[in-house]
Every structure is written in structure tokens, then in C-alpha cells.
Amino acid sequence: MSPAFGRGVMTNHIVDLKNTDVALIMGSNAAENHPITMKWLGEAKRVRGAKIIHVDPRYTRTSVISDLYAPMRSGTDIAFLGGMINYIIQNNLYHKEYVLAYTNASYLIADGYDFKDGLFSGYDAAKRTYDNKTWDYQYEADGTTVLKDPTLTNPRCAFQLMAKHFSRYDIDSVCKITGTPKNKYLEVLKLYTSTGAPNKCGTIMYAMGITQHTVGSQNVKSFANVQLLLGNMGRPGGGVNALRGENNVQGATDMALLFHIIPGYIDSPMNNAANKDLVSYLKAVTPGAAKLPAANMDEFRAAVAAGIPNSGYKVNTSKWVVSLLKSWWGDACTKNNDFAFHYMPKRDAAKNYSHIAMFEAMYKKEIDGLFVMGSNPVVGGPNANKEQTAMCNLKWLVSVDLWLNETAEFWTYEGWERPEKNGKVEQRNPKNIDTEVFFLPACAVYEKEGTAAQTGRWVQYRWKGAEPVGESKSDLWIVDELAKGIKKLYANSTLPQDEPLKNMTWGYGHGEEPEPIAVGLELSGFTVADKKPIASGFGSLKDDGSTACGNWVYCGQMATKPDGSLLYKPMNRDNKDNSKTGLGLYSNWGWAWPVNRRIVYNRCSVQPDGVTAWPGDDARVLIKWDATKVSDPLKPEVVGSWVGDDVCDCVKTAPPDKAVPFLMRPEGTGCFFAAKASFKEGPFPEHYEPWESPQKNLMNKQEFNPAIKVWEPEKQGKVEEYPFVGTTYRVVEHWQTGALTRNLPWLAELMPNMFVEISEELGRLRKIENGDNVIVSTTRGDIEAVACVTKRIKPYIVDGKEVHMVGALWQYGFKGYATGDPANRLTPHVGDANTMIPEYKAWLCDIRRA
Amino acid sequence: MARLMTNLYDVSKCTACRGCLVACKDSNQLPAVMEPFKGNYATHEDTNGNTYTLIRFIEHEDPVDGVRWNFLKYQCMHCLDAECMKVCPKKAYRKTEWGATIHDEDKCIGCQYCTYACPFGIPKYRTRTDTVTKCTLCYERVEEGLKPACVRTCPSGALTFGYRDELLQQAEARVKFLRANGFPRATIYGKLELGSGTNKIYVLTDTPDKFNLPVDPKVSANTWVWQDWIKPYAGWLIPVALGASAVSFVTNRLINKGDDHAKGGHE
């Protein structure tokens, strides 16, 4: 989403679903995995007469509450959505004023850009990568001003190139690939594209069914293009809404629990010349700054103050980075030592540190130790047989969990005791595994305090409801003790390489238990001189070392009360809707990043003039331009301000013609054409089959995503041996790897056994009856499960042939009350080209009676 | 009689998350009953002595509607004219003023007459206490001014609790809405069934048979069988078949139960 809009977040929020006219749920089983969304969609149905569409390989609990269900073969989302983009353009269903004003549709694209035979210009087949220099705009002679065609007729404008690119996605071609019945596909197209009318808003809800593919990022980009065309972004009841897989995934990514970023979604520095000092690094991560002549921070600061063309709001990156360094190294971070930039760990530019890569490295004995907190890779990791084998190579493993889960006791793996049932797993004997396992019992969520950032970016404080059981401790306590212990070990070191640890600021409270509010203050940011929180938000951060902020997107969550004590806004609990038109913003309940903005890109909720609502849609205006208002009483000379129930997502005092709607993008607009390094595999989404597919690619000459890294080419299953599509998913009764829920008897009894779902047709083909025990196999492993033979799955008619699917729950393991084989013993070590998210959702398998 | 209070269950809003099942077990402190998965999400064959409420998952397919997956929460219907009360030899059943059918385990002798008489097959014998058990409509919670546990936990708004007359009005409006929005056979269940109705109101999106509910429970009270559930429970039909034996079974129970209590009970 970031290449399209500027931020990779759920754009709206859960309550806002009630404002929609049509909800397209695709790649998500929201009723099972996000039950509370059903409450608000129900409200939309009841009050607005909204319609719900569910597109999914299976008829699920979500399909039941939908008005329209359309099946689709797993891994063909781009074909499905490409057809929708084509349908919108061919039938003139796009929201014209919106597209012209708020997107890069009119931008002219560089002459070198081309697309042929499934490949964009610049492909290097040997390296499986693209040189993206032609994926750019045309500029005027100054080299910075982009050429545009407001008539959208120039064949080199982004709109016309998009129209041409997707013209191949006609309805018949699409249905041949996806296996969707044509009449159902047409119904979906008609119903969803009706939201292109200016007075309608459609929302798209998606989850791991979209992202866990080799084309996951481009799947999301397809959504973005649809929503920009229909004018559904930045408006209540619209948006591209990523439903997060866990309650704090948003918080985890905000805090950079990913290998390639530092807190606040800034690329992490690498060990190359481009990152040799702070200025070089800032030039690399600030859009448009690469070629600035600045040689030191003073010159860089001056350049930022003067404005960098095509930079967007990220022109301020230096302020976020320096404030972050200041929060990490305090007094040891000064102007004279490059703000301690040399303390920052640098990653190897040639290496990948994602989940798959990490376990591949472990398998090759390149990693000695592993910390596992709130994770259970023996059940949840792809290619779980290999990952479990890899763990045998560790010298030590620390597992932090509520129970001794499959990962903590990986060495007791029963797969090694019954090789006849799991022949493809490498044999290990527990006697010969030298890994030393440390288990730290952790508190449950109700036994500790702190915040979680939910899917809609709301940061909410949670108070302790019960005392911890036994010796279990909160994560914060465990990390705090660990850091204090490490610092103690290095306290007397005189080695320069130990300085980052020695000088790291660390102090969250005074007692035995660290205080979450102290962490909250560091994240929110403070002025170094007086340690007072920066309540006004990240606009006040500086790059001269006078401010410290642990995560700029969280800046402003802490303020000072009149009595001088701290006001931690995630603790706010005012359940009154502050929206005058009943939009359910609840701005004083918790706190949403950025700066408590509930719906991002909300500049788009009014027409370009900034004052007129979209025709017939007065109730869904979030902000308006007030030409007479003075927003800051200290600056009475600045007249004119954005006002409204939500916090404006543009510069507050910028008049409508200057207030760009997507300010985090260098273009300032939503992007159909994702320029330059946005994606590894091209500026437009293109359909490629999954790495393992029963079907040749009917859309172009490339079989699978040409930009993905193939880790184990020999493990690619072939359709002759493994004829069926396999996919994995969850049920509402169990949570993630089941480490929690399979140990709770009341939940274990609801879904006590591992099962796989197949159609009645596949059941007949393989002589499997409902309730039979079956074996599912791939090149990676075999699992045993109970068969659920159901009418809810049907074979897909793909290019005239029947294609069957086996759906497997991935939440089982060999510990707890409810047990079963992990489905991830079947899934491949292959991932998205950009994010490396594993392809859990589409692979080839076979099934037989046990 | 006080104003009746009841549960409204709207299947069109139910996502079968089964939170109500867990809330019920928690509120009534009932142990888990592990039954292996046999191919239906419901997992449990039927309510049992330690499971007062379940969600039924029923698949239908026809050329017009395609596949439909119907969910039904089922538990004691709290019939206004309750058959269980009539057949109980020890008067262990009573009605609260607001309409809940309460079963008093202290009076129960475990004769299980009620389990055969119930038109919905709900009360179940529990070995560990040698009594019959069933849903209580959380009467203790309700009389403290709280909602039943299942209603309190429902995230999608499928369950509501309130005055029966008001809920019936809501239900009628909802059925009207559903009939106009893709469910032409939507109907209310529990309003007039068994003559006087039940103290649980269902809004169904299709005819009752599509939810494995008896279409006319009054007529078929003694003969109606749950096709899908009968086979595994052939065991409990034997006493019915052997009518005379059953009488003596009950008589014996009536005589012996007092002794057992004198000896300090069964557990």
C-alpha cells in the first residue's frame, strides 16, 4: 500500500465499516478471524442497506453473512482484480474528478518503460531482478517537474498505460484463470463498481489470503488501483483495510519487528558506502535527496528547509532519525559524533534476514542462538519439517511462552518417531540434539499492562485484570531484565565496539516492574532539555539533537496534564462519538497514529476545492477548508485552516490547491503507476501463477513471479505428481498456532482435531468419505488429518479443466489438548518478492485415505 | 404474571463463532467434553450433561440458492407450556415469573422422563451427578439484573435479551426486512409453536426444517425424531421401547434415591 498511498496501514478503522455502501471481502475470512467486524458490517446492512461481497476459494462463515459469494482459485487475485480494473475503465465507471485531482493518472511515463511477454522493461533473467530506471515519469527540462496530461488521453500517461496493461484482462480470460463462474464474476463487478458513483463508498477488507502469496504485495496494489479508480480512498466507508492477523501486528510493524526497517517505517542502514555516515544515510532514505550536494548535517538541514522537490512529507526524515538516535543514546548522541550514527547496527546489503532466510541460514548452521517470543515456528513457519530440523543446529534456544509449546519442545518431535507417516522429514534423534533450551514462562495478556495497536491503528492501553500465574512475567519485564543484564556485562568494557551497549539509554521506572508509561513517553518523544512530552506531534521534532523520540509515528501520544502529570492518550476512554454526522470516529477513545487521525488521506473526503462535499455525500465529509480561521493563536497572521471532526491529513494551513491528499508520497497523489523502486516486480500488477500451480499462465509467458527468490528449486512440486491446489487457513476457535487455545479445554473441545476440507467431487475421486482419516502430501512432507467433505468447496473450472483444492487448518501441533499434524509441514519455502511473506496459500499436494 | 423476558436469536447475524458456548461453560462452570471431529464443525453430536448449548452447522444446496450453510444455536427453548414440567414425577421443574424453565437438581432423581418428553430433545442425563441438566436461561444472572452469559458475549449482535413482547416486535420487523432482502422464506420461530410459544425467539432465514428444527413440534412431540441424531443415541431409546421396564426403572429410582442421599450421595 505504501507505493500507492504512502503508508502501509489499514486506512480506515473497524467502526468505520458501518459507513460503507458495499464491502468487498477478499482474501479474508473476517467472520472467523475478525469477528467484531461483523458487528459493524451488520450495522451498515441494517442502516444503509449495504451489500457484502465475499470472494474466496471456499464458502466460509464469512460467505454466510454475505449477500454475494464468488469462488476463486487460490493465487489468482490479480487476474480477478485486473479484470475489475479493466471493467471500470472500459465502461467509464471510474470517479473522474477524483482520479484527475487525487491520483497520478495524468503523469506521463518515461519513454523507456515497456511491458512485453509478462516482463517489464529492465529485466535481468540471470539475476531474476529488474533494473527499474525506466519505471519513472517524464520530466521538464529542470529534471524535477513531472509532465502531465490532464485530458488523460496521451498514450504515455499513467492512466492510458494502465488501461492498455489491463485491457488483456477481459471477463472470459479472467474466468478461465480464476475458475469463477462468469455470471458470479459479472455480479461482483457490477455491484462493487457501483461505488464509483460520487455519493457511494466501497470498502475492501483483506487479510493473509491476499498477502501470503509470491505476488502478495501486487495483490494489495491491485486493490489500491481499484479503490483509487472508484474514488474510495480517504473517505468514510471506503479504504483498503488490511485486517491484521494478530491484535498487535500493527504495533509490531510500527516498532520495526521487520528486518529492513527501523521504528517508523524508515529503511534500516546497510554496511555500504551509501550509509557511511549520517548524511549519506539520510540522503539515501529521504525521497529526492540522493543527489543533494550536502556534505554535512548543517548543509542537509538547510536543503530540507529550502524544500526538496518530489520528496513529500518524508522530507522530514532527518528529524525522525536524529530524534530516534537521541532517544537510544541520549547524552552519547551529539552533533560532534554524527549523532551516534556509527552505533547503529548495519545490515549486510547482500543478505536477506526474513523468516525463510533466517531458517535457511539456521539450517546451514550459520546461526547459534534463537529467541522466540510469542511465536511458534514449528507450527507456524513454512516448510515446518525443515525449520524444525534447522532448530537442531542451534546451540541455544530461548522460548518465552505461556505453555511449553511445540517450538520449546521441538526436540521431542514425534515425526521422528514415526517416519513411516512422515517419510520426507530428515531423521533426528533427540539424544543427539545439543540445543540447550531455556523456557521463560510469560504472562497472559490479562496479567500484564501496556498498549496494543490494533488493526485500525488505535493504540489502546490495557490494564491488568489478574495476577500472573506462578513465576510467569510480562514481556516488558523479561526484556527489561535482559537489557539490564547485558548492560551490566559490558559496563566495564573499554572496547569501542561495546559503546553502543554501554551508552544505550535504559531506564523504565524505578521498581521491580518496568513502567509501560515510561516506554510510552520515549516513543512519544520529549524535549531533551526538560524531558516534557512533545504533545504537538512529529511536526515539532528537530534534527539538531534537541528532541528525542523513539518512534516518530507515535509522536504526540503523550501530553502534560494541567497538574503537570503525564496524560497518556491510549488510556483515553471516552465512548462518545465526536463526529457530528455519526461517523463513529470516537476520537477520544484511545489514540490513533498518526496524530490521532482516524481515517488517513481524509483530504479526499471533500472535493478538490476543499469546501464542497462530493455530490450527495455531505454526511461523509471529514474535514473542510475554512478560509477565515486562524489555527494557531500565536501566529495570527496565518489565516485559513482545515477544520472538521477528524485530524486533517494534509498541512493544516495549506490552502486547498496546495494541500496534497497523499502527502507521504513524493508525488503527493495516489499512485496507479508505482514508480522506481516501489516494487521488485513492476509498476503495475501482473498475473503470475503461484510457484506451484496446476495451471500454465494464460496471461503471459512467465509461469511464476519473475522477481522472487527461489530457495529450493528441487522442491517445486509438479502437477503430474501433486495434482491438487493446497491452501491453509484458521478457524475462529483457535488462535494462530494454537499454542494458547489448544491448551484451553473449552476451546480445545470446540475444534479438537486437525482436519482438511475437500469438495464432494474430490471425495468421490479419491474415495474419501466425510470423517475419514487422510494423508496429504507435498514434496516437503506428509500430514495426517480428518477429512471434512463439504458442499462448501467446489472444483474450479480452469481453462476447461476441473481443478480441486485441499484446504488445511494450520493451527495444530503435537502439544496441548487438541492435537494434530501442522499443515505447514506441507508449505513451501518461497515468498513474496518484496516482503518475503511466505506463500502459505497456494501450493500443490496430493491426498489419499490413510 | 410478570412480563416475560427472553432471548432473541437472529440467525442472519450469527457467524457461528461459538463464543456463546464458551461463555455458557464458563458461567455454569461445566467441564469440557472432548468428542473427536467427525466431519462437521459442530463436533459435539448433541447437547449433553456438561454442554447446555451448541451451534448446529447444516449445509444445504439447491439450484436456486446454491450452497447455504445454516447455523443454529440450540439449547432449552423454555417452552411456555413445558412438557418436562408435566412429566417430572418429583416436580423438579418450575417456571420463574418471567418465563424461564428451571430444573432443580436437588429434587431430580435422574429418571430421565423429561429427556424423552421434550419436543426438542434438550435435557440430558449427567452421570457424575446422577441428574438431568439443561440451560437455565441464566436465571440467577437475570435476577441480579444481568444478561444471560451467551447474550453478553455475542460479538455480532445475533443474541439479545429483553421483554418477550418487545423482542417479538423486533423479530417481526427483522423478518420483514429479511424477506425483502434475499430471504423470502424468513420466519419467526417460537412465537406460537406448541400453542403458547416458547420463551426463546428465533429469527430464521429459511423454513425451520432447514435448521433441523421440528416444523410443528406440538403435533410431532412424541413421534418426531431427529434423523441426524437418532442413530448414535439408539441406546437411550431402549427404555422407551421397553415401556413396562421403564416404569419399574422409575419406580425403583423413586424408592432408591432417598437411600442414596442418606448414604451421602453418589460422587
Q: What is the pLDDT of residues A372-409, one digit of tens each?
A: 998 999 999 999 999 999 999 999 999 999 999 999 99
Distance separating alpha carbons of residues A446 and A443, to the nearest angstrom:
8
In the predicted structure, residue A768 carries a pLDDT above the cut 70: yes
On chain A, the residues whose CB falls within 8 A of the CB of B58 are: none
| pLDDT classification of B219: cutoffs 50, 70, 90 | very low
* pLDDT at residue number A245: 82
User: Can you read off the three cell numbers belonging to residue A647?
Assistant: 485530524
| Test mutation, A53, A62, A65, A740, chain B, max B CBs within 10 A | A65
Average pLDDT, chain B: 86
Quick one: B255 exposed, middle or buried, by C-beta within 10 A (0-12, 13-18, 19+)? exposed
Phi, psi of A541 (to 5 degrees): -70, 150
Compare CB distances from A42 to B66, B69, B157 and report the shortest one's residue: B157
- pLDDT at residue B257 above 80? no
Contact B164/B201 with Cβ under 8 angstroms? yes
ipTM value = 0.92
Q: Identify residues of B whose CB sits under 8 angstroms from chain A CBs.
A: 12-13, 15-19, 21-22, 25-26, 31-41, 43-44, 59-61, 66-69, 71, 155-157, 177, 181-182
Q: Kindly list the domain boundaries of chain A, sorted by start residue.
A: 257-348+525-568, 355-481, 713-849
The confidence score (pLDDT) of residue B262 equals 40
Q: To probe the interface with B, which of A48, A746, A786, A849 has the most B CB atoms within 10 Å?
A: A746
Q: Do A788 and B35 touch (CB under 8 A)?
A: no
Question: SS3 of B190, please?
Answer: coil
Q: Is A498 exposed, middle or buried, given 0-12, 13-18 or 19+ CB atoms closer than 10 A? A: middle
pLDDT of residue A422: 67
Q: Is it the case that residue B189 has pLDDT exceeding 60?
A: yes
Q: What is the pLDDT of residue B247?
A: 54
Pairing assessment for the beta strands A755-759 and A805-809 based on DSSP bridges: antiparallel
Percent of chain A with pLDDT over 90: 94
Q: Please tell me the total number of residues recorded for chain A in this structure.
A: 850
Quote the pLDDT of residue B1: 58
Q: Beta strands A369-373 and A396-401: pairing type? A: parallel
Which neighbouring-strand residues pair with A146? A139
Torsion, Cα of A152, A153, A156, A160 (10° steps): 70
**Residue of chain A whose Cα is closest to the Cα of B177:** A46
pLDDT of residue B218: 60
Chain A / chain B CB contacts < 8 angstroms? 108
Domains for chain B: give ranges and CATH numbers.
8-78+146-211 (3.30.70.20), 83-136+226-262 (3.30.70.20)
Nearest by CB to residue A746, choosing from B22, B61, B66, is B22
Report the chain A residue with the minimal C-alpha distance to residue B19. A733
Nearest CA of chain A to the CA of B165: how many Å?
21
Tell if the CB–CB gap between B69 and A35 is shorter than 8 Å.
Answer: no
Task: Give chain A positions within 8 Å (CB) of B66.
Answer: 69
Instruction: Indicate the residue of A770, A791, A792 with minimum beta-carbon distance to B39.
Output: A770
Residues 6+ apart with CB under 8 A from B51: B21, B25, B30, B33, B44
Verify whether the Cβ–Cβ distance B18 to A750 is below 8 Å: yes
Q: What is the distance of C-alpha A722 from the center of its chain?
A: 31
- The pLDDT of A416-429, averaged and rounded, is 72
Q: What's the rounded Cα separation, in Å, for the pair B114 and B126?
A: 13
Dihedral sign (CA A308, A311, A316, A322): negative
- Residues in Cβ contact with A317 at an 8 Å cutoff, skipping those fewer than 6 apart: A266, A282, A285, A286
Residue B266: predicted pLDDT = 40
Between helix A158-166 and helix A77-90 the angle, nearest 10°, is: 120
Helix or strand run (H / E) with residue A184: helix A182-193
Instruction: Tell me what pLDDT residue A413 has.
Output: 72
Query: pLDDT exceeding 70 applies to what percent of chain A?
Result: 99
Q: Report pLDDT digits (tens) over A283-328.
A: 999 999 998 999 999 999 999 999 999 899 999 999 999 999 999 9
Q: Do the beta carbons of residue B188 and residue B175 sit within 8 Å?
A: yes
- Residue to mutate among B41, B52, B54, B183, with most A CBs inside 10 A, is B41
Peptide bond into A441 cis (omega under 30): no
CA-CA distance, A623 to A648, in Å (whole number)?
A: 6
How many Cβ atoms are within 10 Å of B240's Cβ, its own excluded? 11
CA–CA dist B217, B195 (Å, integer): 10
Query: How far apart are the CA of A756 and the nearest CA of chain B, in angstroms?
Result: 9
Q: Higher model confidence: residue A805 or residue A246?
A: A805
Fold of domain A355-481: Rossmann fold (3.40.50)
| Rounded-to-integer distance, Cα A454 and Cα A440, Å | 26
More confident residue, A800 or B232: A800
Chain A residues touching residue B182 (CB < 8 angstroms): 67
CA of A19, closest CA in chain B: separation in Å? 17
Task: Measure CB to CB from residue A59 to each of B13, B69, B71 and give the nearest one.
Answer: B69
In the prediction, which pLDDT does A415 show?
A: 61
Nearest-Cα distance to chain A for B158, in Å, is: 9
* A421: confidence class by pLDDT, cuts 50, 70, 90: low
Cβ contacts (< 8 Å) between A17 and chain B: which residues?
none
User: Per-residue confidence at A247, pLDDT binned at 50, 70, 90?
Assistant: confident
Q: Which residues, listed in sequence order, are joined to residue B6 by a DSSP beta bridge?
A: B162
Q: Torsion over CA of B189, B190, B194 and B199, rounded to 10 degrees?
A: 170
Contact B36 A752 (CB under 8 A): yes
* Angstroms from A48 CA to nearest CA on chain B: 13
CA A839 vs. chain centroid, Å, equals 15
pLDDT of residue B236: 52
Give the separation between CA A1 and CA A638, rounded to whole angstroms.
Answer: 34
Contact of B7 with B100, CB cutoff 8 Å: no
Around Cβ A418, how many Cβ atoms within 10 Å? 11
DSSP string, A60-118: -HHHHT-SEEEE--TT-HHHHHHHHHHHHHHTT-S-HHHHHHHBSTTBBBPTT--EETT
Element of type H or E holding A510: none
Asked if B15 and A753 come within 8 Å (Cβ–Cβ), the reply is: no
**Residue A713 backbone zone (phi > 0: left; psi -120 to 50: alpha; other: beta):** alpha
User: B187 falls in which pLDDT band (50, 70, 90)?
Assistant: very high
For the segment A593-611, what is each residue's pLDDT rounded down to a tens digit?
999 999 999 999 999 999 9
Is B131 within 8 Å of B159 (Cβ atoms)? no
A29, A56, A749, best to mutate vs chain B, most B CBs in 10 Å? A749
Q: Do B19 and A787 touch (CB under 8 A)?
A: no
**A396-401 and A436-441: which strand pairing?**
parallel
* Record: contact B155-A63, CB cut-off 8 A: no
Fold of A713-849: Barwin-like endoglucanases (2.40.40)
> Which of A64, A729, A770 best tests the B interface by mutation, with the highest count of B CBs <10 A?
A64
- pLDDT tens profile A712-755: 999 999 999 999 999 999 999 999 999 999 999 999 999 999 99
User: Helix/strand/coil (H, E, C) string of A712-773?
Assistant: CHHHCCCCCCCCEEEEEECCCCCCCCCCCHHHCHHHHCCCCECEEEEEHHHHHHCCCCCCCE
**pLDDT of B226 strictly over 50:** no
The amino acid sitting at A302 is A
Model pLDDT for residues A216-227, shown as the tens digit of each residue: 999 999 999 999
With a CB cutoff of 8 Å and minimum separation 6, the contacts of A744 are A817
pLDDT at position A677 is 87
State yes or no: pLDDT of B222 exceeds 60. no
In Å, how far is A806's CA from the nearest CA of chain B? 14
Cross-strand bridge partners of residue A307:
none
Q: What is the pLDDT of residue A660?
A: 95
Strands A51-56 and A240-242: unpaired
Distances from the Cα of A551 to the Cα of A326, A525, A554, angstroms? 11, 8, 6
- Residues A75-99 pLDDT 10s: 999 999 999 999 999 999 999 999 9
Cell digits for A794? 467446489
Distance CA A406, CA A736 (A): 13
Could you read off the pLDDT of A262-291 as tens digits, one per residue?
999 999 999 998 899 999 999 999 999 998
Give the model's pLDDT for residue B263: 41
Mean pLDDT of all residues in chain A?
95
Element (H, E) at B67: strand B66-74
Task: Measure CA of the first residue to CA of the last residue in chain A; give whole Å.
Answer: 44
- A149 Cβ contact list (under 8 Å, min separation 6): A106, A108, A157
Q: What is the pLDDT of residues A774-798, one digit of tens each?
A: 999 999 999 999 999 999 999 999 9
A742, A812 Cβ separation under 8 angstroms: yes
Please report residues of B whose CB lies closer than 8 A to that of A66: none
Select from A31, A789, A790 the Cβ nearest to the Cβ of B15.
A31
| Among the ranges given (A235-244, A505-514, B30-39, B94-103), the one the predictor scored with the smallest mean pLDDT | A505-514
Model confidence over A621-661: pLDDT tens digits?
999 999 999 988 899 999 999 999 999 999 999 999 999 99
Distance, in Å, from the CA atom of A38 to the CA atom of A32, rounded to the nearest integer, reads: 9
Cell numbers that stand for A94 in this block: 471510474
Among B16, B25, B182, beta carbon nearest to A67: B182
* A806-842 confidence digits (pLDDT tens): 999 999 999 999 999 999 999 999 999 999 999 999 9
Q: Which residues of A touch B181 (CB under 8 A)?
A: 49, 67
Q: With contact defined as beta carbons under 8 Å apart, do A80 and A174 qualify? A: yes
Q: What is the pTM of this model?
A: 0.94
**Fold identical between A355-481 and A713-849?**
no
- pLDDT of B258 reads 44
Cβ neighbours for A288, distance < 8 A, ≥ 6 positions apart: A144, A308, A309, A310, A311, A315, A666
What percentage of chain B carries pLDDT values higher than 90?
75
- Please report the pLDDT score of residue B223 as a whole number: 37
pLDDT one-digit tens code per residue, A506-559: 999 887 889 999 999 999 999 999 999 999 999 999 999 999 999 999 999 999
Distance between B181 CA and the closest CA of chain A, angstroms: 9
**B69 to A64: CB separation less than 8 angstroms, yes or no:** yes
Whether the pLDDT of residue B242 is over 80: the answer is: no
Pairwise CA distance, residues A157 & A138, whole Å: 9
Residue A624, beta-bridge partner list:
A643
Give the mean pLDDT of A683-702.
97
- Helical residues (DSSP H) of B73-226, grouped into ranges: 83-87, 113-117, 139-143, 149-153, 164-180
Residues in chain B: 267
Chain B interface test: which of A45, A56, A61 (most B C-beta within 10 Å)? A61
> Is A64 within 8 Å of B15 when comparing Cβ atoms?
yes
The whole-number pLDDT of residue B2 equals 80
**Stretch A27-37: mean pLDDT, rounded?**
94
- On the CB side of B114, CA atoms within 13 Å amount to 30
Residue A564's Cα: distance from chain center in Å? 38
Q: Which residues of B touch A755 (CB under 8 A)?
A: 37, 39
Q: Give the Cβ contact number of residue A217 at 10 Å.
A: 26
Nearest residue of chain A to residue B174 (CA atoms): A46
Q: Round to whole Å and give the CA distance between B30 and B51.
A: 7
User: Residue B232 — pLDDT band, cuts 50, 70, 90?
Assistant: very low
Q: How much is the pLDDT for A246?
A: 85
